Amino acid sequence: SVPAAILSALSAAARGGVLFKGGAALETLAEVRSFAFDKTGTLTTGRAEVRHIRVLDGTREDFLGLLAGIEAHSEHPIGAAIRREADRNGLPPVPVGAIHAHPSEGLTGADAQGALWAGNTRMAARMGADVAPLGTLLDGTETMVMLGRGPRIIGAATVADQPRATSAEGLAALRREGVGRIVMMTGDRRAVAHRIGTDLGLAADEIHAELLPADKVALVAALAEQGAVAFVGDGVNDAAALARADVGIAMGAAGSEVALQAADVALLAEDMGRLAHAHRLARRTARVIR
């Protein structure tokens, strides 16, 4: 049977919005030496907004309607940002079918005129598209979404999202707890990762960008050589890393169903300060039951 100390710690954690799937996860959390965080929707709010748009071919309205069409069913915060922007401009999404999600790259689909894609430079490269005509839009520190047909880029939008109000303090609290290593892992481009990471007090070598889901898994495995690892994430692209980590922690309210299923813990209160509380609680409980 589960020791009373663990049961009472689990219920104390739950009252604080940290839901453990079982006592084993609490015991493992006490051993955790490294915390790895996803960026988008985890350390940031995931409520991204469209900032800049550059259209190379056609009107701004056509561009936004088509981009909203391909992003119509995307679970990614980028998709939601694009849909809100189109809606705000009164532009109905163009019907796009055969949509296929490529994690950490973007989406492919087809409308009445044929195949199209939306995504980052990795997706553009896959399509043989030259991004150079986008000019200065490439230089910013915002997330970029390009829209294209095969090798032809129609246009691009940048979206930006902000750190959660509790992220910087949450990471600082984990450091005070004695957590040895704290890193950020993101599929987003380096310039964005550095802006957000630096804002949160992370050093350059703690910021890992332009990762595919499998790269996150490999980095978690590398950290695991120095002791137990917790991974905190929200997206479909985080599911494998959540499963690989000794303790997978998924964002509760805004996180994807896949991430929640792969995780051992759900962070219902979207308060990063709760992680340090849970870690301290886990360590205290471990001392009591030993």
Stretch that binds ligand ADP, among 53-61, 105-113, 263-271, 277-285 (CB under 6 A): 105-113
Please confirm, yes or no, whether 238 is among the known catalytic residues. no
Q: How far is the CB of 124 from ligand ADP (least distance, A)?
A: 10
Q: Which range of residues in 23-31, 40-48, 50-58, 146-154 is near Mg ion by CB under 5 A?
A: 40-48
Considering beta carbons, is residue 83 or 277 the nearer one to ligand ADP?
Answer: 83
User: What secondary structure, in 3-state letters, does the chain show?
Assistant: CCCHHHHHHHHHHHHCCEEECCHHHHHHHCCEEEEEEEHHHHHECCCCEEEEEEECCCCHHHHHHHHHHHCCCCCCHHHHHHHHHHHHCCCCCCCCEEEEEECCCEEEEEECCEEEEEECHHHHHHCCCCCHHHHHHHHCCCEEEEEEECCEEEEEEEEECCECCCHHHHHHHHHHCCCCEEEEECCCCHHHHHHHHHHCCCCHHHEECCCCHHHHHHHHHHHHCCCEEEEEECCHHHHHHHHHCCEEEEECCCCCHHHHHHCCEEECCCCCHHHHHHHHHHHHHHHHHC
Is 79 a binder of ligand ADP (CB under 6 A)? yes
What is the nearest approach in angstroms of ligand ADP to the Cβ of residue 259? 10
Q: Pick from 20, 28, 41, 192: which binds Mg ion (CB under 5 A)? A: 41
Residue 161 as a binder of ligand ADP (CB under 6 A): the answer is no
The yes or no reply on residue 76 touching ligand ADP (CB under 6 A) is: yes
10, 66, 129, 145: which one binds ligand ADP (CB under 6 A): 145
Task: For ligand ADP, give the closer residue by CB, 25 or 160.
Answer: 160
68 scored as a contact of ligand ADP (CB under 6 A): no
Q: Considering the rule CB under 6 A, would residue 142 count as an interface residue with ligand ADP?
A: no
Per CB under 6 A, residues contacting ligand ADP are 38-41, 71, 74, 76, 78-79, 104-107, 118-120, 143, 145, 186-188, 235, 237
Per CB under 5 A, residues contacting Mg ion are 38, 40-41, 234-235
